[in-house]
């Protein structure tokens, strides 16, 4: 099992063969990880939150669920989740404009930039930034449709494992958000490292 | 005020100057209208459901709310909504694969195809299909994150009006969905016409 540390605030891409899996561990328990998946053989095909919600008739995938591409086929399976299952499919990746609007003067790392850099480093070209699967991000929706941005519900060492159903390029970003925001209700995220394990598939 | 009928199951694009507005009326009260907006001067910029949810901290825009692009700026304002406000930002546009999976043998019109054809006819090129704003589509989310596909809550003649904050190309599709589905809970949509009014802006 290959293991790497994804440093706080950074991104990286991981090539998975069909049948292999990726395990993403929140060492602090408090880190959000933005997750994307692109078909490197046809980069127009990517993991799609709107198609996944449609296929599952549910906002958030659970252990055992398939994750669907914009071609409506399952490309990943969530095979493990030791956390309480609070993940987000609704919120856009943070980007330089988000930080500018939050009052940051000058450079701030962002998930959108981490995605772009990791994808380019992997030699994959596609336009736009798909809506991410935000692992461990806790944004419950009340009956009135109001969203609350809460601290992660995960604990130190909680992990989620996704198995690839096709050869796929996974892009991860350890979210660099560290700004006080009114809708964070008093908590301020503290970026931390993430452990990533790529688990080879068992032949045949 | 220019008025056109968008025939059941078809799509069309409408050019709005900043300050003008588009009013979309469900004549039957039961018709879902997929809504997109693209900046024709920079087609990479489009209305984004994930950025709108993030900016509003709410799943569904309401009267008075701004709708945001993937550059995090407001490009439309919802200035009127006579319906009960049940609209969807979570579900992907129907497409040929969706109908194939629902058992349709052969051609079936779809919102995705309507979008592509209308955009091309307007001379705008961009890749992918943004997640649509599904007007009058009633897909409530319960506290467990489960989605239910319910009949529209709108009444005959209900309308929604959106004012452009920039010059924008709006694409509409009168959703052609007419297939019985288990998650429709016994109701089957009957495609119907939609009235569209483009309302010029008042000079300065």
pLDDT, tens digit (0-9, with 9 covering 90-100), for A93-127? 999 999 999 999 999 999 999 999 999 999 999 99
Whether B25 is in a domain gets the answer yes
pLDDT at A1 over 60: no
Residue A169 is part of which domain span?
2-199
Average pLDDT over residues B10-39: 97
Q: Which residue has the higher pLDDT, A112 or B2?
A: A112
Whether B12 is in a domain gets the answer yes
Average pLDDT over residues B107-114: 98
Q: What is the chain A residue with the closest CA to B43?
A: A128
Pairwise CA distance, residues B114 & A179, whole Å: 41
Whether B204 is in a domain gets the answer no
Pairwise CA distance, residues A36 & A24, whole Å: 13
Q: What's the token pair of residue A25?
A: 């561990």
- Give the pLDDT confidence score for residue A189 in this predicted structure: 82
- Give the pLDDT confidence score for residue A183 in this predicted structure: 63
Is there a contact between A147 and B44 if contact means CB atoms under 8 Å apart? no
- Give the pLDDT confidence score for residue A182 in this predicted structure: 65
Average pLDDT over residues B108-117: 98
Do the bridges between strand A194-199 and strand B66-68 make them parallel or antiparallel, or are there none, so unpaired?
Answer: unpaired
- Nearest by CB to A48, from B48, B92, B101: name it: B92
pLDDT at B13 over 70: yes
Is there a contact between A59 and B145 if contact means CB atoms under 8 Å apart? yes
Whether B31 is in a domain gets the answer yes
Least Cα distance to B32 among B136, B108, B121 occurs for B136
Contact B172/B33 with Cβ under 8 angstroms?
yes
Query: Into how many domains does chain B fold?
Result: 1
Whether A204 is in a domain gets the answer no
By CB atoms closer than 10 A (0-12, 13-18, 19+), residue B97 is middle
Best of A90, A100, A110, A142 to disrupt the B interface by mutation (most B CBs within 10 Å)?
A: A90
- The average confidence (pLDDT) of chain B is 94
Whether A125 is in a domain gets the answer yes
Write out chain B residues lying below 8 Å of A49, CB-based: 50, 131
Least confident of A24-38, B147-161, B183-197: B183-197
User: Residue A24: helix, strand or coil by DSSP?
Assistant: strand
Q: What is the chain A residue with the closest CA to B142?
A: A143
Percent of chain A with pLDDT over 70: 95
pLDDT at B86 over 70: yes
Least Cα distance to B134 among B116, B104, B154, B117 occurs for B154
Pairwise CA distance, residues B11 & B150, whole Å: 23
- Give the pLDDT confidence score for residue B186 in this predicted structure: 65
Pairwise CA distance, residues B37 & B169, whole Å: 6
| CB half-sphere exposure, B28, CA atoms < 13 A | 18
């Amino acid at each position: 099992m290959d293991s790497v540390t994804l440093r706080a605030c950074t991104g990286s891409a991981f090539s998975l063969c069909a049948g292999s899996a990726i395990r993403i561990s929140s060492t602090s328990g408090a880190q959000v990880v933005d997750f994307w998946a692109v078909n490197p053989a046809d980069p127009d095909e990517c993991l799609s939150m709107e198609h996944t919600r449609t296929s599952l008739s549910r906002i958030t995938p659970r252990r055992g669920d398939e994750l669907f591409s914009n071609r409506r086929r399952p490309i990943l399976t969530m095979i493990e989740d030791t956390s309480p299952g609070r993940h987000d499919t609704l919120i856009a990746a943070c980007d330089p404009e988000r930080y500018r609007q939050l009052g940051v003067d000058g450079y701030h790392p962002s998930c959108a930039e981490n995605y772009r850099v990791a994808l380019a480093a992997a030699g994959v070209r596609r336009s736009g930034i798909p809506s991410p699967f935000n692992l461990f991000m806790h944004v419950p929706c009340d009956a009135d449709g109001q969203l609350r941005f809460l601290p992660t519900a995960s604990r130190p060492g909680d992990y989620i494992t996704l198995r690839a159903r096709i050869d796929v390029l996974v892009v991860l970003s350890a979210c660099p958000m560290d700004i006080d925001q009114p809708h964070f209700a008093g908590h301020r995220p503290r970026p931390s490292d993430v452990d990533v394990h790529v688990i080879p598939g068992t032949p045949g």
